[in-house]
Amino acid sequence: MKGTVSICCCLTLLLLQATAEEEDFTSTLRDRSHIDETLRLATEEKAGDYAAAIQNLRKIYHSSIKPMEQAYKYNELRQHEISAYPGRTLGDSATDGEITSKPMVLFLGPWSVGKSSMINYLLGLQDSPYQLYTGAEPTTSEFTVIMHGEKIRSVEGIVMAADSSRSFSPLEKFGQNFLEKLIGIEMPHKLLERVTFVDTPGIIENRKQQERGYPFNDVCQWFIDRADLIFVVFDPTKLDVGLELEMLFRQLKGRESQIRIILNKADNLVTQDLMRVYGALFWSLAPLINVTEPPRVYVSSFWPYDYAPDTSRELFKREEISLLEDLNQVIENRMENKIAFIRQHGIRVRIHALLVDRYVQTFKEKMSFFSDPELVFKEIVDDPDKFYIFKSILAKTNVSKFDLPNRDAYRDFFGINPITNFKPLSTQCSYIGGCLLDKIEKAITNELPGLLSGINSGKQPGLSSCEATGCGEKPKNRYRKN
């Protein structure tokens, strides 16, 4: 009996000692000086140059691209072309909030892999009232947007969606149930002056999407389409790929250049086990990422406390610095990326307008006094290749065939927008404003590339040539016969 009591006492002492050592280990905070240094948070930005570039970008968009969007209802086409344009989009129609928004970093992955802890670590929020709640169980049930503000405060989802100055107003379309699961946190922070973080609910494979009460995959797609950098986080205990995670990677198709895979909590394993887990992670993800060059994988432990003893501390530190450099690259290139995306958006709007114009011309050519308008247009929209709708655009405008929208999208588009609602491009001109096609082509070929080169050369973007010299001459309509 005494021997049994003695053994129990020894085990209790060992357990208490181990618990004390663990508490001492987790109470040791890691040095964060390399974060500020790598992200250059101490350096002041040239706010004037950035504001001037944003102002010029807004002016180009509103004067040269948006009028064409509205005239040919580009936003209606976007609702029907699900996979016509993989990759980042600017939404149905670019808004001032989207143009002026900061780069967005999106955190995705299974539950309790350390997404919220990683954000706490990057922002230094541990032990503060506004640190994101973390735990071993599924803790984040909301989409949490962490952004810059003059003071620390939380913002309800319905307020974020109602504020047109933000870039989140389109989220209203996902319903009130979702807005109750959307929350914003504003705080004064150097890093948040340059970037916005979005924490997402963890993927739980045994939960059906409808049990969330809102279209989870559609909401994820909205954030994916607008993210500049996407961190997909795993930990060594959650490498299995289920239906929800498989669906997530299908949504990431075309965004491989923005994806970074993070194997978190790596200091929980010895080196040999870590190598096996690394290989298992690639084995699980290989069928889902069908690209020649796989996304970059970072292996470390992203949380505020020190690495576990007897682990590859130097390797984890180098991996962490590499990830921070990756993040800093996105921040430094944000203006160039924004200009490039607006230009890409303008190219798509221009192609759409040219296609609608070609449908209008073909319809007018095929119509006669005794023709039935509905039957004539049905024949055109059902078989556009018969009338060389798309081929004529490729021949006349030197557009890549890979930039053309889906043909079926136009059947749905004209189903809700009668062909008679649209005017030919040749008539879309005014004495003061000029021709819509000329303006959007000028923006794509001259103004946006000029703005981009001004940013790259370090010069303050100047006024456009029209603003500098004046545009007193009468705009010419090259489509109208003299």
Task: Judge whether 228 and 338 are in contact, CB under 8 Å.
Answer: no
For residue 179, count other CB atoms closer than 10 A to its CB: 21
Does the pLDDT value for residue 387 go beyond 60? yes
For residue 399, count other CB atoms closer than 10 A to its CB: 17
Sign of torsion over alpha carbons 113, 115, 116, 118: positive
Distance, in Å, from the CA atom of 214 to the CA atom of 203, rounded to the nearest integer, reads: 14
pLDDT at 200 (0 to 100):
94
User: Higher pLDDT residue, 283 or 211?
Assistant: 283
Q: Which residue has the tokens 């929800």?
A: 244
pLDDT at 477 (0 to 100):
42
pLDDT at 243 (0 to 100):
82
0.75 surpassed by pTM: yes
Alpha helices in 214-312 (DSSP H): 216-226, 243-251, 271-285
Distance, in Å, from the CA atom of 342 to the CA atom of 34, rounded to the nearest integer, reads: 34
Does the pLDDT value for residue 393 go beyond 70? yes
pLDDT at 46 (0 to 100):
61
470 pLDDT band (50/70/90 cuts)? very low
The string of pLDDT tens digits covering residues 307-342 is 988 888 899 999 999 999 999 999 989 899 889 989
Q: State the Cα torsion 340-250-352-69 to the nearest 10°.
A: -60
Instruction: Single out the residue of 87, 103, 215 nearest to residue 148, CA to CA.
Output: 103
Does the pLDDT value for residue 92 go beyond 50? no
Average of per-residue pLDDT across 217-236: 92
Name residue 29's beta-bridge partners.
Answer: 305
471 pLDDT band (50/70/90 cuts)? very low
Rounded to 10 deg, the angle between the 448-456 and 334-366 helix axes is: 170
User: Higher pLDDT residue, 448 or 135?
Assistant: 448
Task: Judge whether 191 and 41 are in contact, CB under 8 Å.
Answer: yes
Instruction: Single out the residue of 304, 297, 229 nearest to residue 262, CA to CA.
Output: 297
DSSP string, 342-405: HHHHHHHHHHHHHHHHHHHHHHHHH--TT--HHHHHHHHHH-GGGGTHHHHHHHHH---GGGSP
Distance, in Å, from the CA atom of 104 to the CA atom of 227, rounded to the nearest integer, reads: 5
The string of pLDDT tens digits covering residues 344-379 is 889 999 999 999 999 999 999 999 888 898 999 999
pLDDT at 456 (0 to 100):
73
Average of per-residue pLDDT across 171-179: 92
Distance, in Å, from the CA atom of 358 to the CA atom of 469, rounded to the nearest integer, reads: 35
Distance, in Å, from the CA atom of 166 to the CA atom of 362, rounded to the nearest integer, reads: 42
Q: How far is the CA of 275 from the CAs of 259, 296, 303, in angstroms?
A: 22, 16, 21
The string of pLDDT tens digits covering residues 269-314 is 888 898 999 888 888 888 887 777 778 999 999 988 889 888 888 9
pLDDT at 48 (0 to 100):
63
Does the pLDDT value for residue 123 go beyond 90? yes
